[in-house]
């Protein structure tokens, strides 16, 4: 079956400079159906509120929104009867769990890559996605990267954090705090308690080959995982209450694509420079974030003062300071074009975006190579992980 995406925006068929790309993906586990229904409702809400509701109109005027209600239509079709728990239909037709099927930055993930995964990986290369969420069921929590980890990302302390942890925590809270049940943190009886309805993915349970880590590392796209229902496949009559409880969160989360700073990088002759590295000092990504083919960059940042570092082959890094104001930017990140004081030497910049190798990039980080004896603490943490792993979301 095809994977369908609907795009909502003023210019839905193509990217416009300055308009960030947002996406929602649901139902990659075919038996987790609430997200799939919510995204259909969301599409309806966006297109029928356009021109009537100023918030939605502003959002559509300034954002390109991609919505994939089902990433696993075969799994969905395979479900025999609605079931709250782990069931047939989680995996795709070939019996692969798609949320374990992506390249992994922490260890080799030698599974056979599935057509659905390949399709999503290709899709990620066609747009400069900035922000995303991946909708699941079986728990009630907003979970942020990383899902896998090593010592260098905090695994000894039973967590795995990105250099953008402040932004990810903010994003997860933005969603959870507007969902009256999720924010309580303990609504799914007999399952784990999540303070404020938020967790780091690895702290909950480590997993390999997940989609959110892939988005952040290889697609320059911040993605979180939203677990939206204690019951994976609830009865139809529950659907209106799921929409009522998630509507404000779904909309507010999309608006966060306008956090931080965006702009184009130009050389001294005014030519936009594609594929050059634009990173914030002290939050370097393991695969450096680069401008797209129009020379654009988008950096999700909370209010504060930052140094942006632009690296063009053959030149000293160019540093420039940016202050992200407290005041909301009204459906636009702070706009800051960067004019470099030299000519771009376009021939030295690769014609296509040099992609990072899809191998365990974190394996050789210095702090990871230091051998460690497993402590009793680590042993207990591992036991806990094994325990929680038994209820897969």
Ligand X SMILES: *[C@@H]1O[C@H](CO)[C@@H](O)[C@H](O)[C@H]1NC(C)=O
- Long-range contacts of 321-325, Cβ-Cβ distance < 8 Å, separation of 24 or more: 322/261, 324/260, 324/261
Closest approach, Cβ 329 to Zn ion, in A, equals 33
Whether residue 179 contacts residue 249, with contact meaning beta carbons closer than 8 Å, is answered with: yes
Q: Which is nearer to ligand X, 317 or 350 (CB)?
A: 317
Q: Which is nearer to ligand X, 81 or 327 (CB)?
A: 327
Q: Is 227 a residue of the active site?
A: yes
Q: Which of 37, 227, 279, 296 is catalytic?
A: 227
Closest approach, Cβ 168 to ligand X, in A, equals 22
Q: CA 341, CA 335: separation in Å to the nearest integer?
A: 19
The DSSP secondary structure of 304-339, one letter per residue, reads EEEEEEEE-TTSPPEEEEEEE-SS--SSSPEE--EE
Chain contacts with ligand X (rule: CB under 6 A): 10, 54, 57-58, 61, 108, 110, 277, 281, 288, 309, 311, 317, 319, 330
Is 29 near Zn ion (CB under 5 A)? yes
Is 36 near Zn ion (CB under 5 A)? no
Is 159 near Zn ion (CB under 5 A)? no
Q: CA 27, CA 31: separation in Å to the nearest integer?
A: 7
Q: Which two tokens stand for residue 297?
A: 């960059």
Q: Which is nearer to ligand X, 353 or 391 (CB)?
A: 353
**Residue 108 binding: pick among ligand X, Zn ion, none (C-beta 5-8 Å cut-off by kind):** ligand X
What is the biggest distance separating any 2 CA atoms in the chain, rounded to whole angstroms?
Answer: 64
Closest approach, Cβ 60 to ligand X, in A, equals 7
Q: Which is nearer to ligand X, 1 or 16 (CB)?
A: 16
**Residue 332 binding: pick among Zn ion, ligand X, none (C-beta 5-8 Å cut-off by kind):** none
**Residue 136 binding: pick among ligand X, Zn ion, none (C-beta 5-8 Å cut-off by kind):** Zn ion
Closest approach, Cβ 207 to ligand X, in A, equals 17
Q: CA 381, CA 154: separation in Å to the nearest integer?
A: 13
| Cis check: omega of the bond before 316, within 30 degrees of 0 | no
**Residue 91 binding: pick among Zn ion, ligand X, none (C-beta 5-8 Å cut-off by kind):** none
Closest approach, Cβ 135 to Zn ion, in A, equals 9
CA distances for 95 relative to 166, 276, 280, angstroms: 36, 40, 41
**Residue carrying the six token digits 């792993």:** 389
Q: CA 7, CA 22: separation in Å to the nearest integer?
A: 10
Residue 162 burial (10 A CB sphere; 0-12, 13-18, 19+): buried
Q: Which one of the spans 175-183, 243-251, 293-301, 385-393 is the region binding Zn ion (CB under 5 A)?
A: 385-393
**According to CB under 5 A, which residues from 77 to 136 bind Zn ion?**
136
Closest approach, Cβ 289 to ligand X, in A, equals 10
Catalytic positions, written as ranges: 227
| Interface ranges with Zn ion (CB under 5 A) | 29, 32, 136, 393
């Amino acid at each position: 079956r095809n994977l369908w995406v609907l795009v909502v925006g003023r210019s839905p068929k193509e990217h416009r400079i300055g308009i960030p790309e947002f996406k929602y993906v649901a139902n990659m586990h075919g038996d987790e159906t609430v997200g799939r229904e919510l995204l259909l409702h969301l599409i309806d809400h966006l297109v029928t509120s356009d021109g009537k509701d100023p918030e939605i109109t502003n959002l559509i005027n300034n954002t390109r929104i991609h919505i994939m209600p089902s990433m696993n239509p075969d799994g969905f079709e395979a479900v025999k009867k609605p079931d709250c728990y782990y069931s047939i239909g989680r995996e795709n037709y070939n019996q692969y769990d798609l949320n374990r099927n992506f390249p992994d930055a922490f260890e080799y993930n030698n599974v056979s890559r599935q057509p659905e995964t390949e399709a999503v990986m290709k899709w990620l290369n066609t747009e400069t996605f900035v922000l995303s969420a991946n909708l699941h069921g079986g728990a009630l929590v907003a979970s942020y990267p990383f899902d896998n980890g090593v010592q260098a990302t905090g695994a000894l302390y039973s967590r795995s954090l990105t250099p953008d942890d402040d932004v990810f925590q903010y994003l997860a809270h933005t969603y959870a705090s507007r969902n009256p049940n999720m924010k309580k943190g303990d609504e799914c009886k007999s399952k784990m308690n999540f303070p404020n309805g938020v967790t780091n993915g690895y702290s909950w349970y480590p997993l390999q080959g997940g989609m959110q880590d892939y988005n952040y590392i290889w697609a320059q796209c911040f993605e979180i995982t939203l677990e939206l229902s204690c019951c994976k496949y609830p009865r139809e009559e529950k659907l209106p209450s799921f929409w009522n409880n998630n509507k404000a969160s779904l909309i507010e989360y999309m608006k966060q694509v306008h956090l931080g700073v965006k702009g184009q990088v130009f050389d001294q002759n005014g030519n936009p420079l594609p594929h050059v590295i634009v990173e914030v000092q002290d939050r370097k990504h393991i695969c450096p974030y680069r401008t797209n083919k129009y020379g654009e960059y988008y950096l999700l940042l909370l209010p504060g003062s930052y140094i942006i570092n632009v690296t063009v082959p053959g030149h000293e890094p160019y540093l420039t300071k940016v202050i992200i104001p407290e005041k909301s930017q009204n459906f636009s990140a702070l706009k800051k074009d960067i004019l470099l004081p030299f000519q771009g030497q376009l021939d030295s910049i690769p014609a296509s975006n040099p992609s990072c190798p899809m191998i365990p990039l974190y394996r050789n980080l210095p702090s990871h190579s230091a051998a460690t004896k497993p402590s009793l603490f680590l042993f207990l943490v591992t036991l806990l992980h094994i325990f929680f792993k038994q209820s897969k979301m």
